[in-house]
Each structure stands twice: as structure tokens, then as C-alpha cells.
Amino acid sequence: MKNTILITISALFTLFIASCVKEIKPVAPVEPLPNVYQLAWQELEYYGFIHFNMNTFTNKEWGYGDEKPSQFNPTELDARQWARVAKEAGMKGLIITAKHHDGFALWPSAFTEHSVKNSPWKEGKGDLIREISDACKEYGLKFGIYLSPWDRNHPEYGKPEYVDYYRNQLRELLTNYGSIFEVWFDGANGGDGYYGGANEERRVEKRTYYDWPKTINLVRELQPQAVIFSDAGPDIRWIGNERGYAYDTTWSPIFRDRVYAGMPGFDKYAKGQENGTHWVPTESDVSIRPGWYYHPEQDDKVKTVAHLVDIYFNSVGKNSNFLLNLPVDTRGLVHENDVAQLTKLADYLKVMYETDFADSATLKATASREGYPPKLIHDNNKDTYWASPEEMNTAQIEVEWSSPQTVNTFMIQEYIPLGQRIKSFTFEVKTEQGWQLLETGGTIGNKRLIRFDTQTVSALRFSITDAKASPIISNLGVYKAPDLAPE
Ligand code: FUL
């Protein structure tokens, strides 16, 4: 009898303990989801493009393909300067135009004579891809390559033989220069050109001519971590303009098998598709000058810091990555005017991100899922998050201070490893006059940045007004960006 009582008591006690330590249920993902390489890439946020090749010396944007290797002759080329400038600018990597549409190769390719090996630079002994990949390693930058599929120099462009040649070049680049983080396949394709002296127009069927699946397999085999950019992914996609601007609504999902840049009516799909089948996040490419290549007459046309800041907010701050092009000059250096603007952008961002006013705030949410409280939004851990209760697709998050703060920027991130969910939001601040609505917007995705006129506020309110599924937030920040001096 005594034993039975004891057993019953201990069983009840165990049950009591078990009911106290409830298992935290995982949040179900909303497909499509990013893979680990896409996630790592998204975290880079800001990196550089280098357009430097034959066009630099002919003062063109698109060379015809009849240029002579002897024309490639930088006088002070220093790839370490490019890497240093990029690093100091806060960029996380560099992508170089190893070959542009004119076909000239910046490395001594074994498959063509149309390369640096026949140029006066370093008496034909130079290898620019080696120099820039080494410089990137030295400065802790990722390294990526752009290899133009269109080749206006090659005699066999338009025939199957050229596609083998293209893959051979790609293999050289993906084998001999260490780890590659991004491979850039340009969509500009086919037209008139030199083509080994034929001087004619050659059109190709963009979707089939290159047999992309085979080329993509080659990249996967040689550099599995590299993300591939092309008109329609497969891994990342073009934002749809060359101004560097993503959209108020920018979905990473898209119907990848049906939608691609260059298709009729692509404009209406450039912002992605809420119910898209594949995760193909966007990259916003833009040049710091009007041209992609260096033109001395554009030395005074380098974008102002206000313009660059605006692009940053409209790319990184709208669920996109920012790929900023630097047209290296005929000396082989990033021009001092460009360096000056890059430095101002870097200083601006440094000052802005230096103090996160959310550190001293209290975070509240209208409702939270068990095990996912709002404090997990701001805990210096990108892998923990707040989640709203299941089936609840709206929510309000409040950031509150015990004494008012003077701020002008708000940052928020969805936990994208579990899919992109939020469709729309409003953003309010509480001042002495009470709550004021400052912004009504669309998606969040990896990151949303909201700028507003500097205000002294006691609280901020971010309201998720619609979502595909219960929202998950992994991070937020509140900053005071510096004023921009007029230029
Ligand atoms: C375009 C090219 O035609 C431009 O010359 C430049 O390389 C830009 C990044 O992509 O499609």
C-alpha cells in the first residue's frame, strides 16, 4: 500500500515536471527556401564589380572584337590597390570582367591568342586574374568572375565549337585561382562583331545555344559553393535595372522555369513572385560612374555620396545585394575621385551602424509563439528569432525607451532560412505629439531599411499587416545616420 502511494506520488511528480519543461516546437518553413550558399552570399550584402579590360584602352563600353592585344597597356596596374580600396570601402568581395563581349582575356588562356599574353603589359608575362585573386585573398575579400558568353572576337561564335571554347575558359578560371564566390553570366548576347574577320551579324538562341545546364554542372563540379548569376538564376538574379534599385516589394522566390530577364514583359516580374517556386534572390548592379568602363570624360561624373547612400538603402535595404562597379582607369588604378566617394559612403555607414539604439530599448510584441519571445530579435544571434503564434499573420513589434532617443533609421530582418513571409507593414514613431505613421511598405526579406527625418522618439512600432504565414523576425536595429554635406 505504502509502495503504491509512493509510486503514484513520484509518477505525478514526473508528470508535473514534464508539463513544466514543454518542448519548444520548431517553426515550420515556408517554401521555397535558400540553400546554404545562397544564405552565405546574401550576408555579403555589398561587394564590388571591376570593369577593366580592352574597353578601358579603347574608351568604349562594348568593343567590336577587332582590337589588338597590343592596345592593352596599363602603366601602373596595381590590383592590390583595387582590393585595398574595396576593403576600406566596406565591400566583402570583388568580381572582375575576366572577358567582356570583345573577347579579350585578362589571363593567359591556353585556348586563345587574344589575351594578356600577347600584350605589352609585363611583356606578355602577366596574369591579371592571378594578381586580383591573390590581392583579394590578402585583403580577406571574396573573389568572383564575370565571363561574357558573347564573344565578338571568336571566329566560331554562334557554332557549337565556341561553346566548348567558352567552357574551356571557364574551367581555367574555376580551376586555377582558388575559391570563387560568384560566377556572373551576362545576358547581353549576339549581334554584329568581328568574329575572326567575318565582320557580320550573328544571332544565337539565348536559351538553348549555350546548353546552360552543362555549363552550370561544370561550375557545380569545380566550385560548388559559388552562386551563379544569370538572366534567370539559377542561384541569384538580376534586379531588372542597372540603377541599383530594388523594389518596395522584392520577393526572393520566383517561377524560375518560366520567368527570365529578356523575356517579353519581364518588367512586371522583376520584383519576384510571392508564390514563386524557387529561391532566386536579387542582385542590384550599378556603376559608380555613368559607364561600366573608365572614360576620362566621366571623371567629374562619379556619383555623389547622397546618391550612393540612396542606392544602398534601395538595394541592401530592400532585400537585395548591392554590386557596385568601379571602372578601373587606364593606369590600372581605381581613380582618386571614385576612391573619395567610396570613402564617404563607408564613413557614412560606419557612423550610422556604430550605435544601435535598440541596445537600450525594451522590445514587445502583441503576441508571441511559445519559446520565441521578442527578446530573441535583439540578442546578437542571427540564428535566434521571434515568431508570432501559428496561423497569426499579423503582429506589432514595439521598441520602447525609458528616455527619448534622437534617431532616423530603422532596420529589420526576417529569418529567411525558413522562407520569406512578410507582404506588407507600417512603421510608426511615438513623439511628444503621439504616434505618427511614417511609412507603409511591402516586403522585408533579408533586410529592410527605413529612413526618416531625424526625430526624438520614445517608441517605434513596426506592424506586420499581412504575411504568407506567421512572421519570424531575427534582428532589428535603430540608428542615427549622419547628415550628408551637399556636393
Ligand atoms: C551588361 C553588359 O552589356 C555591360 O557592358 C556590363 O558588363 C553590365 C554589367 O552588364 O549586360
- Rounded-to-integer distance, Cα 63 and Cα 141, Å: 29
- Rounded-to-integer distance, Cα 204 and Cα 166, Å: 15
Please determine whether the domains at 36-354 and 357-479 fall in the same fold group of CATH.
no
Nearest protein Cα to ligand 1, atom 4: 292
Please list the ranges in the chain whose pLDDT falls under 70: 1-22
* Total Cβ atoms within 10 A of residue 45: 18
pTM value is: 0.95
Backbone angles phi, psi at 174, to 5 degrees: -90, -5
Q: Quick check: CB of 439 below 6 Å from ligand 1?
A: no
Cβ contact 113:153 at 8 Å: no
* pLDDT, position 23: 86
- Rounded-to-integer distance, Cα 241 and Cα 285, Å: 8
* pLDDT, position 13: 58
* pLDDT, position 487: 83
| CATH superfamily, domain at 357-479 | Galactose-binding domain-like (2.60.120.260)
Backbone angles phi, psi at 145, to 5 degrees: -125, 145
Q: Per residue in 67-124, pLDDT tens? A: 999 999 999 999 999 999 999 999 999 999 999 999 999 999 999 999 999 999 999 9
* pLDDT, position 485: 83
* pLDDT, position 278: 98
- The domain at 36-354 falls in which architecture? Alpha-Beta Barrel (3.20)
In the chain, where the domains are located: 36-354, 357-479
Cβ contact 24:370 at 8 Å: yes
CA–centroid distance, residue 17 to ligand 1 (Å): 64
* pLDDT, position 355: 98
Could you tell me the three cell numbers for 373? 519571445
* pLDDT, position 233: 85
CA–centroid distance, residue 192 to ligand 1 (Å): 16
> Among 54, 292, 324, which is best to mutate for testing ligand 1, by the most ligand atoms less than 8 A from CB?
292
Q: Per residue in 54-71, pLDDT tens? A: 999 999 999 999 999 999
Backbone angles phi, psi at 315, to 5 degrees: -110, -75
